[in-house]
Structure 1
Amino acid sequence: MKNILKGTLTALISIGALANAAYADGVDQLPASEKKIYEVVDPQIPLGASAYKNFKPKKGPPWKIGYASSYAGNTWRAAALDAVMNDLLPRSKVAGLVSEVVVTQSDLKDAVQIQQMRQMVDDGVDAIIICCSNVTALNQTIEYAYKAGVPVFSFSGYVTSPYAINGAANHAQGGGEMATWLAEKIGKKGNVLLVSGIPGFASSDSFDKAAKEALAKYPDIKIVGEVAGKWTDQVAQVEVQKFLATNPTPVDGILTQGAQENGVLNAMLQSGRDMIPITLGGEASAACYWRNNPDWVDASFHIWPPRREMQQMWEIMLRTLQGQGPKVQSFLRPVLPYTIDDVRAAIPENCDLNSTDFVEPTADGWFPAAVADQYFEHPADPWKAATK
C-alpha cells in the first residue's frame, strides 16, 4: 500500500512495469541495488528476460559489426561515432574481437534505416547497433536479424521488440529529476519552456512525459510553451529564439533535453532577456558558461553521455557475442548528478563557449565492470573473454 501512495506517477509506471509478462524472469534476477533503477520507468520499456540468454554467435571473433545510425546531424551523434571509430574499434581490433564496423545513416527515415539494417544482415554482419529509434518501427527488421542469428542492440533509447537488447539511462527518472530540480530552483512557481528532443523517439518521449508529470505537482508552475530542438544546438537555438520573439510572456526557467542546451543558452543570451535557469545535460559549451558564472545553476545531470553510453552498449554487445548470457532485455543506468566542481575538473578556466565536446562520467563511472557482471549469467571481462 505504501508504494501505491507514493504518487500517481510512481504507481502507474510501476504497475506498467510489473505488467510486463516476463518481469520476474528479467529485472527480478538483478540484485537489489540495480532493481532500484527500474522502480520508476516508462511503462513501454521491455523488462523481461533477454532472448539472448543462451545465444551462441554464428562464428567466433573477430566479428563484423553494423552501426545503423538514424541521424548524424548533432554533436552528440558525432561524439558517439567518434567513440566507436577512434576508441572502441581500435581496441577491439587489437584484442582480436572485431574486424570492422559498417556505418550507415538514415537521416531519421525509418524506411531507409530498415533497408540499411536488412542489407547489413544480408551482407553478413554479426551484430547491429542502433540508436534512439522509434520504439516500434524497426521491430519486424529486428526479428529478421534475430532469425538470421544477428542480435540488435539499441543504445540511448529502447525498442519494444523482444529480440533486441536496450541500453540507456532511465529517461523517465531523468525527466522527473530535471523537472523537479528546475521547479525548486525557480521557487516552485513561474513559467517554464519545455524543449523536447525528437518527438516520437523513445528517450525523448519518456523524458517529456515524466517531466510534465513532475511539474504537475507544482500548482504554481505553468508550461507556457513546447518546442522541439531535435537534439541539435542549431535547431534548438532557432526554435527557442522564435518562441521568445513571438511570446512576450515571461519565462522563468527552461527545461531542455541534452545535446541542445548550448543552443538554448545562446538563444537566451541573444534574446535581451535576463538569464534564467536552464537544465544541463553534459554539453561542454554550456558547462563552460556555468564555470564562468557559478551562481547561474547549482546542479546538472548525466543522462546522455555519448561516449559512455556507446561504450556501455559496445561492451554489452561483446559480452553477448561471447555467450555470457544477458539476463535482461533492457540495461538501465541511473541518472548521475554532477556539480560545478566536476565541471572545473573536466574543463579549463579558459574553456570554449563553442565547444562540441561533452562533460562525461569517468571511463568506469557509467557502467562499471563489477555492475555489468551482475547483468550476465556467465560474466567475464569482455576485452579478454573467449567465446563460450
Structure 2
Amino acid sequence: MLALTGCGGNDFAGSSQTGSTSGSALSSLPAQAQKAYINSDALTGQPPYLDGWKPKGPPPWTIGYSSPYAGNSWQTTAMDYLMKQVLPRYQKAGLIKNIVVAQSGGDDTVQNQQIRQLADQGVDIIIACCSAKTALNLSIQYAYNTGVPFVAWSGHVDSPYAVSAVTNYREAGSVFAKEVFDKIGGKGNVLDVQGVPGATNAIDFETGVQDALKQYPGIKLVGSVNGMWSASVTKTEVQKFLATHPEKLDGIVAQPASATGALQALEQSGRPVVPINIGGETGAACYWVNHPDFATTGYNIWPPKGETDLGVETAVRILEQQGPKIQSIVLSVSPITYDEAKKALGTDCDPNADGWLEPTGGWLTGKQLDAFFQHPSDPLTWKQQ
C-alpha cells in the first residue's frame, strides 16, 4: 500500500485542486504537448502525487483494476493484453507482483464498493478505464485517504484525487463528425451512434459531435442510438432505427467500436451503404480497404492495447515517484491512412471482424510520456533510490 509522507490525505489534497494552479500545470508541458488540451474537458490542475509523496513499501507492487464492464471486443482485447503481456513484462522487471481485477458490470454503486474494497485489501494503486466522470469521486477520495492513488485511463474522472491518462475525446468527436460531414458534401441526414451512457469518454465524444454540427448548418441529425461500443448491439439498434425511419440516410457518425455494426445493419436492411467514420475497428477498416472511396481517413482514439499500456505505465511511474506534472495526461487523435489499414489487414480480410487496429507509431508511452513527469525515467529499468 502507498502512504503519504509528511501529512494526512486531507491536508495533502490541497495541492491537487484545479483553478489557479491550472495554468502553471499546463504551461509546464512542452508547447507541442499543450496542443492536445485544446477544448479538452479533462482537468489540468496540479496532481496529488508530487514531491513529498512516496509509496509505503518497495516493489513489486500490487495493482487493483476496477473494470466497469466486460461486454465488448475492446474490453476483451484490453483484458487479455493486460494479463498476458503487460503484467508479465512488469513482473519480469520486478515491479508488479499481481493485478487484482474487480468487474462491476456497469453498476456505479458496485464499482464504488469495489474501489473501497481494493483499497482496504492493500493494493498499492488502483487503475480504472472508461469510468463515469463524477460517480466514483467519493471512493477515489477514500482510496487517496488510505494512501492508494487512482489512475483513470480511456476516460477521465473529475476528481482532484486522481490522475487521468486519456485522449482528447471531445476533439475526437468533432474530427470524426467532420470526416463524415465533409464526405457527404456538408449536407444531408446523419444518424449518431453513441457509446455507453454516462461514460466520460462517450460524453466528451458526443460534445465534440455537437461542436461540429454547429459548423455545418446543412447537416440534419435525424436520430441517435446507443451502440454501447459493441458491433452486435449497434447492428441491432441501427436496424431498429432504419425500420422506423424510411427516409434517406446520408451518413453515420459512430463511436468506436460501432462502425462495423452500423455497416452490417445497412447491408442486412437492404439500405445503401453510406459514409461512416473509421475508428480503429478491423471490420469497418477491412470494408474501407476493399472500398477505398468509403472514407478519407481513419482515426485511433482508444486502441485497447495502446490505452492499456498508457494506463499501466502512468500508474507505475507514479509508484516510482516520477511525479506527474499535470492531473490529466492528454493526447490527440491518431490518424490512420488507407495505406496503413491495407498494409495491416490485406485485401482478404474479414469485414465482419471484431478486432482492432493499433497505431503504427505506438501510443503515448516510453520517452513520449517523459514530458509529463517531473523526474522521468524508463519505468522498466527504474531502480529504487
Give TM class, smaller chain.
Answer: over 0.9
Size of the aligned set, in residue pairs, is 367
Deviation at 1:142, TM superposition (A): 0.5
Cα distance in 1, alignment partners of residues 206 and 54 from structure 2: 38
2-structure distance, mates of 1:273, 1:73? 28
2:248 counterpart (247, 250, 255): 250
Q: Which amino acid aligns with 1:156?
A: S
Q: Paired residue for 2:24?
A: 25
Corresponding residue to 1:86 among 81, 84, 87:
84
User: Residue 334 of structure 1: which of 325, 332, 336 is its match?
Assistant: 332
Determine helix, strand or coil for the equivalent of 2:55.
Answer: coil
Give runs of aligned pairs for residues 138-287 of structure 1, distance below 5 A.
138-287=136-285
| Distance change >3 Å, CA 202–CA 21, structure 1 → 2 | farther
SS in 1 for 2:88: helix
Equivalent pair of 1:323/1:387 in contact (CA under 8 Å): no
Q: Is the 8 A contact 2:143 2:149 kept in 1?
A: yes
Aligned residue identity for 1:29 = S
| 27 and 294 in structure 1: CA distance in 2 versus 1, 3 angstrom threshold | same
Tell me what 2:116 maps to: 118
User: What is the CA deviation profile of residues 34-59 of structure 1, one whole-angstrom value per residue up to 9, with x for unaligned ones?
Assistant: 111112212xx211011111231111
2:133 corresponds in structure 1 to 135
> Offset at 1:368?
4.2
| Equivalent residue number for residue 8 of structure 1 | none
> Matched residue of 2:294: which SS?
coil
2:129 and 2:135 mapped to 1: Cα distance? 13
Q: For 1:85-142, what per-residue CA distance to the aligned partner results, in whole angstroms no more than 9, with x for missing partners? A: 1111010111101111111111110111111111111111001111111111111100
Partner of 2:314: 316
SS in 2 for 1:22: helix
| 1:169-207: CA deviation from partner (whole Å, max 9, x where unpaired) | 100110111111111110010011000001221111111
Whether the 8 Å contact between 1:193 and 1:254 is mirrored in structure 2 is yes
Seq. identity, %? 45
Quick one: distance in 1 between partners of 2:130 and 2:271? 34
List alignment gaps of at least 5 residues for structure 2: 1-17
Q: Which amino acid aligns with 2:36?
A: I
Which residue number corresponds to residue 4 of structure 1? none
- Alignment correspondent of 2:46: 49
CA distance in structure 2 between the aligned counterparts of 1:136 and 1:219, rounded to whole angstroms? 33
Provide the C-alpha distance between the structure 1 equivalents of 2:253 and 2:70, rounded to a whole number of angstroms.
24
- Aligned partners of 1:83 and 1:311 also within 8 Å: no
The one-letter amino acid of 2:234's match is A
Contact 2:309 2:365 in 1 (8 A): no
| Greater mean deviation of Cα atoms: 68-77 or 45-54 | 45-54
Q: Which stretch shows the higher mean deviation, 285-294 or 63-72?
A: 285-294
Contact 2:313/2:365, CA 8 A, preserved across alignment: no
Distance in 1, Cα, partners of 2:181 & 2:68: 33
Alignment match of 1:303 (pick from 301, 304, 312): 301
State the SS of the aligned residue for 1:295: helix
Q: Distance in 1 between matches of 2:197 and 2:20?
A: 27
**RMSD of aligned Cα (Å):** 1.2
1:278, 1:226 → 2: CA distance? 14
Letter in 2 for 1:329: Q
**Contact conserved, 1:37 with 1:334, CA < 8 A, in 2?**
yes
1:63 equivalent to 2:51? Answer no
Shift of 1:252: 0.4
Q: Is the 8 A contact 1:176 1:214 kept in 2?
A: yes
Distance in 2 (alpha carbons) for counterparts of 1:212 and 1:177 = 11
Using the TM superposition, give the Cα deviation of residue 20 of structure 1 relative to its aligned residue in structure 2, in angstroms. Answer: 3.7
CA distance in 2, matches of 1:214, 1:330: 24
Whether the 8 Å CA contact 2:188–2:218 is kept in 1: the answer is yes
| TM score, norm. by length of structure 2 | 0.93
Residue 232 of structure 2: SS of its match in structure 1? Answer: helix
Residues 20, 46 of structure 1: 8 Å contact kept = no
Gaps of 5+ in 1: 1-18
By how many angstroms is 1:323 displaced? 0.5
Instruction: Tell me if the contact between 1:157 and 1:166 (Cα under 8 Å) persists in the aligned partners.
Output: yes
Q: For 2:22 and 2:384, how far apart are their aligned partners in 1?
A: 28
**TM-score normalised by the chain length of structure 1:** 0.92
Amino acid at match of 1:116: Q
Is contact 1:321–1:387 with CA below 8 Å preserved after alignment?
no
**What is the rounded CA distance, in whole Å, between the counterparts of 2:352 and 2:62 in structure 1?**
36
